[in-house]
Structure 1
Amino acid sequence: MKYLSIAAGLFAATTAVAETPVLTVYTYDSFVSDWGPGPAVKAAFEETCGCELNLVGAGDGAALLARVKLEGARSDADVVLGLDNNLTAAAVASGLFQEHGQTVTVDVPNPFGEAGTWSDTHFLPYDWGYFAFVYDNTKLATPPASFDELAASDLKIVIQDPRSSTPGLGLLLWVKEQYGTDAPKIWEALADNIVTVTKGWSEAYGLFLEGEADMVLSYTTSPAYHIVAEEDQSKSAAAFGSHYMQVEVAGKLAATDQPELADQFLTFMTTDAFQSIIPTTNWMYPAITPAGGLPEGFAAPIAPEQARLIAPADVPAIRDEALAEWQAALSQ
């Protein structure tokens, strides 16, 4: 009888585990790292969902879209978190994502419409920021103030590949939006400054911290990490007068077998419980400012007139031209 009770208990426990729904979210590697938002987001969501949140690191941001396109309707993912405004048009064109059906008011600057509004029907934002080159101010007293000054210097930089990384793609579009038909000349001038091109952000920033380069493509908010987490004031973002803007988003896959949980997660993503995690783990501005505000060490965002952005619908055609220019310049 004792053995039957044990067996019954084991069966009940196994059944309970089997009935726990699992929501699989593809995201970028740094999000799921021990120091990223992933662990705190997982714990906070699982407190409310009665589910298991399975966060899967799948390369850098641009690699996420490539993976779900390759997997198609067979993908294990229910939600993809980590695309950005430069990838949303291509993502919608793939037919793999469905509309979120939610209305949200955000604290994300909107160069193409009324501030606070969010009009993308397929993707919801969770954070935003501006790309910038980060440097060690104890080693570089006078940083370049433009791409032209950077190209004219002998400084060594690390950047990310625009085919796999959202910062890399952001840099590509930043140069193209600012210089237009002169963009190839800028890349030709920058070619001898580039130490290497990494697949993703984590590798590039790691090389910079190891002293392999003078500057690294990152964000204006990156120094906040060193200030808040390490009490280190030695890292700064070079001011280029104007900076390209990034908005990171998440969307639900049309083939998900957990549509209600996916919707619940997207809604959770816009709550204070999620948004309060972002500043000191992802080191970006939250899409919706949490009740406690931003932590000390976060610089105020640059003025709106200093922001550069290409409308998401225009990105695919511009990207192809800019990528060809970039590849030609760096192959010489």
Structure 2
Amino acid sequence: MKYLTFATATLAATAAMSDTPELTVYTYDSFVSEWGPGPAIEKAFEETCACDLKMVGLGDGAALLARLKLEGARTDADVVMGLDTALIAAAKETGLFTETSVSAEYTLPVEWTDPVFAPYDWGYFAFVHNKSLDTVPANFKELAESDLKIVIQDPRSSTPGLGLLLWVKAAYGDEAPAIWEALADNVVTVTKGWSEAYGLFLEGEADMVLSYTTSPAYHLIAEEDDSKAAAAFDEGHFMQIEVVGALAGSDQPELAKEFLNFMVSDAAQTILPTTNWMYPAVTPSAGLPAGFETLTVPEKALDIAVQDVPAIREEALAEWLKALSQ
């Protein structure tokens, strides 16, 4: 009888699991890490969706798009989260995404009207350093003239790495190749993604690391450590907006749309500032966490129109490769 009861219960559980819809979300590694927002986002969404949310970490943001292009219409993903404004045009060219027209009261520095992708957080790229650093450069030229060692990310696999190329291009235009030639000997190494680069910085392998103006908030809030700061560059700082989009071939279109709407809801936006350490796309009802008011706020925000990014990216990438290969 005990065996029959156990067998019956097992069959019932198996049947229940088979009836539970599954939503697969491709994202970047740090999002799904134990210290990232993934676990909390998964728990909060599953409490409302009666579904199984499967979040798959696939390197950094640019690596997500490469994976999606490789898989094409055969992809298992229903949603991709972690692309940014520098990759939107290339993502749309794949023809794999569908419009969802998510509506929210965004508190972004720019107006958002894109019907395909929904922004969930944003920030400014910056070089993070220890406050004990003797001399902090005020721009790229001062950085290049210094003996400071920096760690950056590969623009072919990393959204911060690509953001850096666009940052230099937006700030210097035709002078960008000269900036990269001058910066080349400051670069200790180029990593595939953000996590590896930031880890090397924390291990003391470099004086500065390409990250975000919001990164010091992690140390301040999570570790009660105020020893980190983001250098303020007088050329301005390039802005990144991270987005989430639904795939046209998803077999769970309504659930995918539900997830996109969840990501701009107060439930998700409250989680992001102290797990992904970025500004929320929609300011939570409780406001920003204490400590965010201490962060470096750029006097000038730099940006490149989404439709102009592909051509500029190719030019900037060629300039970067040439400078670092010499």
Same fold (TM over 0.5): yes
Contact 1:127/1:285 (8 A) holds in 2: yes
| Corresponding residue for residue 92 of structure 1 | 92
| Corresponding residue for residue 31 of structure 2 | 31
DSSP-derived class of the 1:104 partner: coil
Deviation at 1:303, TM superposition (A): 6.4
1:1-332 correspondence to structure 2 within 5 Å:
3-110=3-110, 117-138=111-132, 140-241=133-234, 242-299=236-293, 306-332=300-326
DSSP-derived class of the 1:163 partner: coil
1:95-140 per-position Cα deviation (integer Å, ceiling 9, x unaligned): 0111113222200111xxxxxx4211110000000000000112x1
Aligned residues: 325
DSSP-derived class of the 1:211 partner: coil
Question: Identity of aligned pairs, percent?
Answer: 70
Deviates more, 1:12-21 or 1:143-152: 12-21
TM-score normalised by length of structure 2: 0.97
Question: CA, structure 1 residues 225+302, in 2 after alignment: closer, same or farther (shift >3 Å)?
Answer: closer
DSSP-derived class of the 1:208 partner: helix
| Corresponding residue for residue 113 of structure 1 | none
Q: Distance in 2 between matches of 1:102 and 1:197?
A: 36
1:14-69 per-position Cα deviation (integer Å, ceiling 9, x unaligned): 10011111100000000000000000000000000001110100000000000011
Point out where structure 2 has 5 or more consecutive residues left out of the alignment.
none
Deviation at 1:304, TM superposition (A): 7.7
DSSP-derived class of the 1:279 partner: helix
DSSP-derived class of the 1:277 partner: helix
Contact 1:83/1:249 (8 A) holds in 2: yes
DSSP-derived class of the 2:272 partner: coil
Deviation at 1:84, TM superposition (A): 0.2
Deviation at 1:11, TM superposition (A): 1.5
Which residue identity does 2:199 align to in structure 1? G
Q: Distance in 2 between matches of 1:311 and 1:304?
A: 19
DSSP-derived class of the 1:276 partner: helix
Q: Distance in 1 between matches of 2:8 and 2:171?
A: 68
DSSP-derived class of the 2:125 partner: strand
Contact 1:26/1:81 (8 A) holds in 2: yes
Point out where structure 1 has 5 or more consecutive residues left out of the alignment.
111-116
Which residue identity does 2:222 align to in structure 1? A
1:282-310 per-position Cα deviation (integer Å, ceiling 9, x unaligned): 00000001011111111377768600000
TM-score normalised by length of structure 1: 0.95
Contact 1:80/1:251 (8 A) holds in 2: yes
